[in-house]
Structure 1
Amino acid sequence: MNRRQVFKAFAIVPFTLLAAALLLQHFAGHKPCPLCILQREGFLLVGMIAVAAAIHNPGRRAALAYLGAMLLAVLAGMGTAMRHLWVIHHPMFDCGFDVIEEVVNGMFVAKLLPQIFLASGECAHQLDPIYGLSVPTWSLTWYVILFAAAVFFIFKWSTASAARAARAV
């Protein structure tokens, strides 16, 4: 599997998850809260970085830089998903109508695509589980999978070049 194919696979996952979130929002009636929107934006950022990398078809060093940028976006998304799970289990600390909602709804992307990125729900509200897991748990699960895959390819591409350099000596 070459680097371009790897980055294409990295792009497919977050955009598929965004499509699933839109289906839940528009057809199942799940209202996204500010933390849901931040998780969507994290997936969007991971997907956009992966698309840029797939188009660029980078060499080893640039591919590692793209993976590093993706890791930062994934870590931010993981943190948001963990915070969301914490709020669900501690409803007295609901994010409700606070600064997070104002910031999220004031972002450029929320004004550009409000049907996708406008927060209208409450973070502590429990939605019906999907295959036994809540939506933020699914989000965290996919962030962990993306994190593990990115770390795997960082090590694979780093050690492969180090092995080639050692053989050349």
Structure 2
Amino acid sequence: MQKLTNYRSLQVFLVFMTVIGMSYALFFLQRYMGLSPCPLCIFQRIGIMVMGAFALVAALFHPKSIAVRLLLWFGSLVGIGWATTVAARHVWLQHLPADQVPSCGPGLDYWLDTLPILQVFKEVFSGSGECATIDWTFMGLSIPEQSLIFFSLLLLVHILILWRIFRPVETLA
């Protein structure tokens, strides 16, 4: 069991979860189901890709320095923390009463072409009617609710990784 929860194995697990999450989003939801991602979905994807990139670096190079491990862990944590926060906001928007849902505005491409980046973030996080729409459910959970559960579990893995950074597994040689 300790070999499964060592630093490198946990980083590989995060990379694997990134591949699964992105494959689910791109190939199943987007290609197979034909669902287009809203701006909040795109921001969630960015967060999980950031987490996966830091986890991949940590898994490939397996740094020995606690400082480097903490830096990589923090970068990964920022990515999944971002994705979790955006997913929570998305779930909140979906549970607003119909009369309180923000109206639909122009798409993300238009905002990126015409607005400064900070204004784009403000517009995306204010949400739009398209973000409040529930297009598909699985076991009664909307896509953002599924994402929030998935991201929350990955946050728990980050707690285990932090614990492993300061309490490494002894080698059984």
Q: TM-score range by the shorter chain?
A: 0.7 to 0.9
d(CA) in 1 for partners of 2:21 and 2:49?
Answer: 9
Contact kept? 1:128, 1:134, Cα under 8 Å = yes
Q: Which has the higher helix share?
A: 1
Indicate if the aligned counterparts of 1:81 and 1:136 stay in contact, CA closer than 8 A: yes
Match of 1:112 in 2: none
Mapped contact 1:45–1:73 kept (Cα < 8 A): yes
Gaps spanning 5+ residues in structure 2: where? Answer: 115-128
Question: Secondary structure of the equivalent of 1:145?
Answer: helix
1:95–1:124: 8 Å Cα contact kept in structure 2?
A: no
Query: Is structure 2 residue 95 aligned with structure 1 residue 89?
Result: yes
Equivalent position to 1:38, from 20, 43, 46: 43
Query: How many aligned residue pairs are there?
Result: 147
Structure 1 43/27 Cα, relative in aligned 2: closer, same or farther at 3 Å? same
C-alpha spacing 1:138/1:60, structure 2 compared with 1 (3 Å): farther
**Displaced runs of 4 or more, over 6 A:** none
Identify the match of residue 15 of structure 1 among 1, 14, 19.
19
DSSP 3-state at the match of 2:37:
coil
Using a 3 Å threshold, how does the CA distance of structure 1 residues 12 and 149 change in structure 2: closer, same or farther?
Answer: same
Conservation of the 8 A alpha-carbon contact between 2:10 and 2:157: no
Larger CA deviation: 33-42 vs 69-78: 69-78
SS at 1:58 equivalent? coil
Identify which of 137, 149, 164 aligns with 1:129.
Answer: 137
Match of 1:76 among 79, 82, 85: 82
TM-score normalised by structure 2 residue count: 0.75
CA contact (8 A) 2:7 2:161 kept: no
Q: Deviations over 1:142-161 (max 9, x none)?
A: 11111111112202321x26
Within 1, Cα distance between the matches of 2:110 and 2:103?
A: 11
- Unaligned runs of 5+ residues in structure 1 are 107-120, 165-169
**Equivalent pair of 2:50/2:75 in contact (CA under 8 Å):** no
Contact 1:35–1:123 (8 Å) recurs in 2: yes
**In 1, Cα distance between the equivalents of 2:158 and 2:89?**
22
TM-score norm. by structure 1 comes to 0.76
Compared with structure 1, are the counterparts of its residues 80 and 105 closer, same or farther at alpha carbon in structure 2 (3 Å cutoff)?
farther
The alignment-based identity, stated in percent, is: 27
